[in-house]
Amino acid sequence: MTPAARVQTSIELLDAIIESARSKGAPADRILAEWFRNNRFAGSKDRRAIRELVFSAIRACGPVPESGRAAMLRLAEVDDSILPLFDGSNYGPDSVRDDEVAADGGVAPEWLARLLEKSDIGEAEADALLGRAPLDLRVNTLKADRATISLPTEAVKTDAPHGLRLEPGTHVEQWPEWREGKIEVQDTGSQLACLAVDAQPGETVIDLCAGGGGKTLALAAAMDNLGKLVASDTDRNRLSRLAPRAERAGATNIETRLLDPKREMEALADLGGQADAVLIDAPCSGTGTWRRNPEARWRLDEGELARLTSLQAEIFDLATNLVKPGGRLVFVTCSLLDEEGADQFEAFLSRHQEFSAQEVTLPVGRPRGNGIRLTPYHDGTDGFFIARAARSC
């Protein structure tokens, strides 16, 4: 494909992605994968270039653009190589008309940009939020050790005790070390969130919103497979991914429980007041993960944010039934909005006087309210809020 044809194809793909973001349809990744499957004439270089163009254009537009062409013209404002390709050539984009306007830039749609600013996410933080994420690994201490593991490419140590960092795009899933469960792909921020749980061998620990079990596996390793580790979630699909992962990782103390939304306690009744630690890795807007998923900015709206914050409060209240006196509750969101972080935790503490905030010490991060905030700019991790509370009685 010519460079101009790649730009035109990216414009058409962006049209589909914009439409899908508006109707909450398939994500950009799936739309691209399907196009690549159906258009075999596009070779690997074309695919790489188109992917790069599409995601750079998504990153360059704060609000949802009017069209793929407006999005590409916005990218042309920050990348000089693009505009000359609007040359009207065969398969290329038409020349730019005098009255054409580019889509708006910025970090996010205006309402969301305002909330980020209110949460003290300044320009440098916002820029880093739209950068490229590295590929972080956690060495699984049930099977290996960071000090001695040998990998096919060079990896640098991260701030997490078992963390390693690789070039993005490394296909670790093809490595024997991955197939043998010696390494897991996990962002440093996620690894540090697990560290805040301080799960010990022999304890009863509940990973209440376990999803596919990324954090559950780290907790199993911290517990050295000793004690009871319950992984629960309301999403059957996500939870079903945990068993094969646990098998590969050699994690043997995990029990999964599928929860019924609004009746979660039914499947957890026997654990009432039993847990030494409960991790709430709460469903959230994911504003801290835009490096991996920049299109998420176009899918969030005020109604969805309100739904998420009230669900977080409900899950908090649910979790209080599970923690035993003297036990701890760890609240985590991959969001940089105070509504889903410091404010949510503060509101929880004022609703539940039997809990008090406990200091969390992590190698990176800065205090935010009664917890810690990690950001891509400051800490090189995804954005996270992490806080811990102890139950007195």
270 annotated among ligand-binding-site residues: no
Question: Measured from the CB of residue 10, what is the shortest distance to ligand SAM in angstroms?
Answer: 30
Q: Please, which residue, 194 or 389, has the CB nearer to ligand SAM?
A: 194
**Radius of gyration for the alpha carbons in the chain, expressed in angstroms and rounded:** 22
215 binds ligand SAM (CB under 6 A): yes
Integer Cα distance of 60 and 77 in angstroms: 9
* Binder of ligand SAM out of 65, 189, 283, 327 (CB under 6 A): 283
- Of 46-54, 166-174, 202-210, 297-305, the segment contacting ligand SAM by CB under 6 A is 202-210
Question: Measured from the CB of residue 219, what is the shortest distance to ligand SAM in angstroms?
Answer: 10
Burial class (CB in 10 A: 0-12, 13-18, 19+), 105: middle
* Binder of ligand SAM out of 87, 235, 343, 346 (CB under 6 A): 235
Integer Cα distance of 340 and 359 in angstroms: 19
* Binder of ligand SAM out of 28, 155, 208, 342 (CB under 6 A): 208
CA of 6: how far to CAs of 9, 19, 58, in Å?
5, 20, 16
Taking each helix axis from N to C end, the angle separating 3-22 and 28-38, rounded to the nearest 10 degrees, works out to 130
Place of tokens 């009744």: 269
Does 334 qualify as catalytic in the annotation? yes
Question: Measured from the CB of residue 337, what is the shortest distance to ligand SAM in angstroms?
Answer: 14
- Of 96-104, 230-238, 357-365, 379-387, the segment contacting ligand SAM by CB under 6 A is 230-238
211 binds ligand SAM (CB under 6 A): yes
**60: three-class secondary structure by DSSP:** helix
For residue 207, the cross-strand partners are: 231, 279
What phi and psi values does residue 205 have, to the nearest 5 degrees? -125, 135
CB 137 within 8 A of CB 120: no
Interface with ligand SAM (CB under 6 A), residue total 19
* Binder of ligand SAM out of 169, 176, 261, 303 (CB under 6 A): 261
Question: Measured from the CB of residue 39, what is the shortest distance to ligand SAM in angstroms?
Answer: 33
Active site residues: 334
Annotated binding site for S-adenosyl-L-methionine: 233, 260, 281
